[in-house]
Amino acid sequence: MMCMPALQGDGMAFFVGTYPPTLPEDSNGGFLGLVNNPGNPANTYFPATVAVEFDAFRNVWDPNNTVNHVGVDVNGIASAAYAALPDGCFNGTMSAWVRYDADAGTLSATLRFDDQPGLLGLYKVSAPVDFRAVGLPQQAAVGFSAATGDYVERHQILSWSFESTLANVAVVNKAESKTSKTTHIGLIAGLASTGTAILLIIVAWLFYREYQKRKGTKQRQKDAPRDGDMDDEFKKGTGPRRFTYRQLSKATRGFSDDWKLGEGGFGSVYRGFLQDQGLHVAIKRVSKTSKQGRREYISEVTIISLLRHRNLVQPVGWCHEGNELLLVYVLMTNGSLETHLYSTSNVLTWPIRYDIILGMGSALLYLHQEWEQCVVHRDIKPSNVMLDASFTAKLGDFGLARLVDHTCAARTTMVAGTRGYIDPECAVTCRATTRSDVYSFGVVLLEIACGRKPVIHEEDEGRVLLVRWVWELYGSGELLAAADARLLDAPEAEVERALVVGLWCAHPDSAARPSIRQAMGVLQFEAPLPELPLEMPVAMYGPPGGGGNPSSNTTSSSSGRSGRSRGRASTSEQTAHSSSASSSAKSGARETRFFATCNTGSAQVNPTADAHE
């Protein structure tokens, strides 16, 4: 949007309205082409309209007489919620994300100015909106409108995309599908001045399918009883539906390499398009050679199908035919946190990073304390945190997750997780608890704030654990020096909280760690910063099966410093005392999922030393 600050027009808007759309005749100027002037008695046509306005002109109905602002309009031109914007901000290009969450009943907008160095960060606004309650029909129009009034302004849509997904797209039968019409709407208005073309490619895959069918006949017969058992488990969940292998093969063009998003030890992930639902999806195809594949597949489907939270990945369905195991999710257009965190071309801004931290914490709070059963994730890391079009964090990959009672821990015979993120105490005791997840969460917090991997490679010192490196800076009063140097004008208070809470959560003694609710309280500025030991201690953990909690030896305890001569209060909830894991990290640092048998005796824990790939 281009305008002269002193003589700028009225602005533009993204709207959802009745279909087919009609332009109100008396909607010029400040009414942005959205609604008729309600002050004119001759106007009687006021169709239901919900809009996000990018207002560039002061009108009497504008909130607090603001000039530039982004606002949410519901059946009118006066904003139900707004965020004020700097003067002259609309003289250039901008990117906007608009998201409607029917489950939460909210419409939110995020705005970024792309070619103005002085306007950093994101501007956000959110308002409670129920599309049905405001009168929008099930078939609605989506588009843009603008007006200039008596002045001059140029409005351009350089590129945009739209996606709509059903919260419960996968249902057991047609009768249920008629009652599950909850809708999520997302919009991206971007910079690239390029046209969009859709090329439909027809792939001749019949011969391949026939070959696979013959090849898998014996295997399907062999697995039929187990598949039946799996069906019984899956039916306990609601929401995701079962797909046929043929449907998913068609959606991925025969699992074409051109449609592959990535691969790992579990198998490969493909992007796909379900034509009958008009839905872009990500399809995880479990490797036939993966020893843990079937177990993780069952775990992921049975757990994730029961969960509903805005910060968890949304499952669409599943498929098991013979030795083919596939999981289907809504495609996250911005990929994983790991991809963006270490990108050399686009640096994640601090506001986005902090929102991701809060989103992850919200997801863990739901899993640990707010759902009817406690879910221990056991594999929290940046590559398992997906980002949607508005960079909202979505925790995924529940293949290692376990359902436990809120008062119990999950005892296993194998250590599961990813090197660098595994709770060192869990590596010895084989007892996965919510505190194990909190440890991993803490490591990821440090990773987000520092822009560094869990194991730092230094030429003079070899490999150094990120937790120890940050803790040393904390003890010397230079904590903020650990922050990612690429971050510009990041609020020190938020960076400090992310780093201190990261250390608190990654405290080697699980008894000294906070619950996820306590950690979120500090991150949301509802509680003061905790005091941590100035030095990272070394802990000793007892063997599993000893009839009690693992023992640990405290080696130091003292008040801590967190910033460049910055004072702070201590928390009364839990003072960080006790022990810590050994900081040495002499083995490899690749973030590979691994399984290692438990040690049977007391051991000084090295969180990376006994990993088998």
On the question of pLDDT at 228 being above 90, the answer is no
What is 374-419 written as a DSSP string? EEE-----GGGEEE-TT--EEE---TT-EEE-TT--EE-SEEEEET
Distance CA 165, CA 464 (A): 44
Q: Looking at the domain 337-524, which fold is it?
A: Transferase(Phosphotransferase); domain 1 (1.10.510)
Average model confidence (pLDDT) across the chain? 73
On the question of pLDDT at 304 being above 80, the answer is no
181 or 292: which leads in pLDDT: 292
What CATH architecture does domain 12-159 belong to? Sandwich (2.60)
Q: Considering the chain, what percentage of its residues have pLDDT values greater than 90?
A: 25
Lowest-pLDDT choice from 37-46, 267-276, 468-477, 564-573: 564-573
On the question of pLDDT at 218 being above 60, the answer is no
Rg (CA), the chain: 27
What is 463-497 written as a DSSP string? EEEHHHHHHHHHHTT-GGGGS-TT--S--HHHHHH
256 or 398: which leads in pLDDT: 256
The reported pLDDT for the residue numbered 379 is: 87
Q: How many Cα neighbours within 13 Å face the side chain of 103?
A: 11
The reported pLDDT for the residue numbered 358 is: 96
pTM for the full predicted model: 0.55
Are the C-beta atoms of residues 79 and 58 closer than 8 Å to each other? no
Model confidence at 299, pLDDT cuts 50, 70, 90, reads confident
On the question of pLDDT at 155 being above 70, the answer is yes
Degrees to nearest 5, angle at CA 595 with 592 and 598? 140
Are the C-beta atoms of residues 514 and 441 closer than 8 Å to each other? no
Mean pLDDT of 266-277: 87
Cβ neighbours of 423 (radius 10 Å): 29
Tell whether residue 284 is among the known ligand binding residues.
yes
* All structural domains of the chain with their residue ranges: 12-159, 241-330, 337-524
The reported pLDDT for the residue numbered 165 is: 57
On the question of pLDDT at 235 being above 60, the answer is no
What pLDDT, in 10s, does the model give residues 503-561?
999 998 889 999 999 999 999 999 999 999 999 877 666 554 444 444 433 333 333 44
- Cis peptide bond upstream of 533, omega within 30: no
What pLDDT, in 10s, does the model give residues 95-136?
888 888 887 888 888 888 776 666 666 788 888 988 888 888
Of the residues 55, 62, 355, 379, which is catalytic? 379
On the question of pLDDT at 482 being above 70, the answer is yes
**Beta-carbon contacts of residue 61 (< 8 Å; ≥ 6 apart):** 30, 77, 78
**Beta-carbon contacts of residue 46 (< 8 Å; ≥ 6 apart):** 35, 36, 38, 75
Most confident of 147-151, 343-347, 455-459: 343-347
What CATH architecture does domain 241-330 belong to? 2-Layer Sandwich (3.30)
Identical topology for domains 241-330 and 337-524: no
- Residue 258 carries which DSSP code? G
Q: Which residues pair with 73 in a beta bridge?
A: 51, 79
**Beta-carbon contacts of residue 276 (< 8 Å; ≥ 6 apart):** none
SS3 56: coil
Going by their DSSP bridges, the two strands 593-597 and 603-604 should be labelled as unpaired
On the question of pLDDT at 270 being above 80, the answer is yes
The reported pLDDT for the residue numbered 9 is: 66
The reported pLDDT for the residue numbered 577 is: 33
Burial of 248 (0-12, 13-18, 19+ CB in 10 A): buried
On the question of pLDDT at 305 being above 90, the answer is no
The reported pLDDT for the residue numbered 483 is: 96
User: Does the annotation count 10 as an active-site position?
Assistant: no
